[in-house]
């Protein structure tokens, strides 16, 4: 499926999430995979999602209803895709960020953010390792174009934020949301792009910062 360019959902939107219950709904590996399936590849039934995420259709139906409760997905209406026996679902939220409201306990939000980060990182690691395992069978040009890099830089918090902004701006023209299928070059594939900029523990951990 990696080589098939999807028809993107038409009503997706970015969201700011301040409800801890909604964040908890996302902090689940299965639900995160279901939402990604709908976001990237478009509407699907619970059975179709089950084939992608390795769950039973009944389990996917439960998780889809929970995602619907917090506004991440909704029912799609496409007479050509359904026969009335199974619901068709589509993603409503294409991207999101968490932001604590004034009446939310900061520690609660932090613990949920940590759990959610672990789910997202585990999913990212799974994709990268899958590529490593199969890369020997891939076209050499894709092998040369891929990147797995690990290094250390020295930066202040302000510099790191500026670097983050530069990377986001560099990736922006290639985001799936911003590219029409008819404009994509021949041979285009979906690419998992994960960027990690994590400071080492301690406020003064750079060499020479005594």
Q: What is the pLDDT of residues 18-41, one digit of tens each?
A: 788 888 898 999 999 999 999 888
Is residue 192 included in any domain, yes or no?
no
Extended strands (E) in the chain: 13-17, 44-45, 73-76, 88-91, 93-98
With contact defined as beta carbons under 8 Å apart, do 96 and 87 qualify? no
Collapsing DSSP states into helix, strand and coil, what is residue 75?
Answer: strand
Give the model's pLDDT for residue 101: 73
Query: Would you say residue 189 lies in a domain?
Result: no
Burial letters 8-47, b for 16+ CB under 10 A, else e: bbeebeebebeebebbbbbbbbbbbbbbebbbbbbbbbbe
pLDDT (0 to 100) of residue 177:
77
In a domain? residue 198: no
H/E run at residue 167: helix 157-171
pLDDT for residue 83:
59
| Gap between the Cα atoms of 147 and 133, Å rounded | 14
The reply to whether 207 falls in a domain is no
pLDDT at 146 over 80: yes
Q: pLDDT at position 28, please?
A: 92
Domain ranges, residue 63: 13-183
Q: Residue 176: left if φ>0, alpha if ψ -120 to 50, beta else—which one?
A: alpha
The Cα–Cα gap between 32 and 123 comes to 9
| Alpha carbons 177 and 109: distance in angstroms, whole number | 28
CATH number for the domain harbouring residue 51:
1.10.10.10
Mapping DSSP to helix (H, G, I), strand (E, B) and coil, where does residue 15 land? Answer: strand
> Would 209 be classed as within a structural domain?
no
Is pTM beyond 0.85? Reply is: no
Band (pLDDT 50/70/90 cuts) for residue 131 is: very high
- What average pLDDT score do residues 185-203 get? 88
Mean pLDDT of the chain: 84
Rounded to an integer, what distance in angstroms lies between the CA atom of residue 42 and that of residue 176?
12
Predicted confidence at residue 85, as pLDDT, reads 73
Taking the C-alpha atoms of residue 197 and residue 58, their distance in angstroms, rounded to an integer, is 38
State residue 179's pLDDT score: 81
In a domain, 5, yes or no: no
For 68-121, write each residue's pLDDT tens digit. 999 999 998 765 665 567 889 999 887 777 777 777 788 888 888 888 899 989
Q: Is residue 179 included in any domain, yes or no?
A: yes
pLDDT value of position 2: 35
Cα 9 to chain centroid distance, Å, stands at 15
What domain count does the chain have? 1
Of residues 106 and 14, which shows the higher confidence score? 106
Q: Residue 11 pLDDT > 60, yes or no? A: no
Task: Answer yes or no: is 113 within a domain.
Answer: yes
Residue 82, pLDDT score: 59
């Amino acid at each position: 499926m990696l080589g098939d360019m999807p028809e993107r959902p038409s009503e997706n939107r970015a969201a700011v999430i301040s409800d801890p219950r909604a964040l908890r709904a996302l902090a689940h590996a299965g639900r995160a995979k279901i939402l990604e399936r709908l976001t990237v590849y478009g509407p699907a039934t619970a059975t179709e999602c089950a084939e992608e995420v390795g769950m039973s259709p009944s389990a996917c139906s439960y998780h889809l209803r929970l995602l619907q409760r917090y506004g991440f997905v909704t029912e799609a209406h496409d007479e050509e895709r359904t026969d009335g026996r199974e619901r068709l679902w589509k993603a409503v939220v294409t991207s999101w960020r968490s932001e604590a409201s004034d009446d939310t306990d900061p520690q609660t939000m932090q613990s949920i953010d940590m759990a959610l980060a672990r789910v997202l990182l585990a999913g990212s690691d799974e994709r990268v390792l899958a590529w490593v395992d199969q890369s020997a069978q891939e076209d050499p040009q894709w092998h040369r174009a891929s990147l797995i890099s690990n290094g250390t830089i020295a930066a202040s918090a302000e510099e790191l934020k500026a670097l983050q902004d530069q990377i986001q701006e560099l990736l922006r023209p290639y985001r799936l949301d911003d590219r029409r299928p008819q404009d994509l070059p021949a041979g285009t594939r979906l690419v998992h792009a994960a960027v990690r900029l994590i400071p080492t523990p301690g406020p003064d951990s750079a060499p020479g910062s005594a």
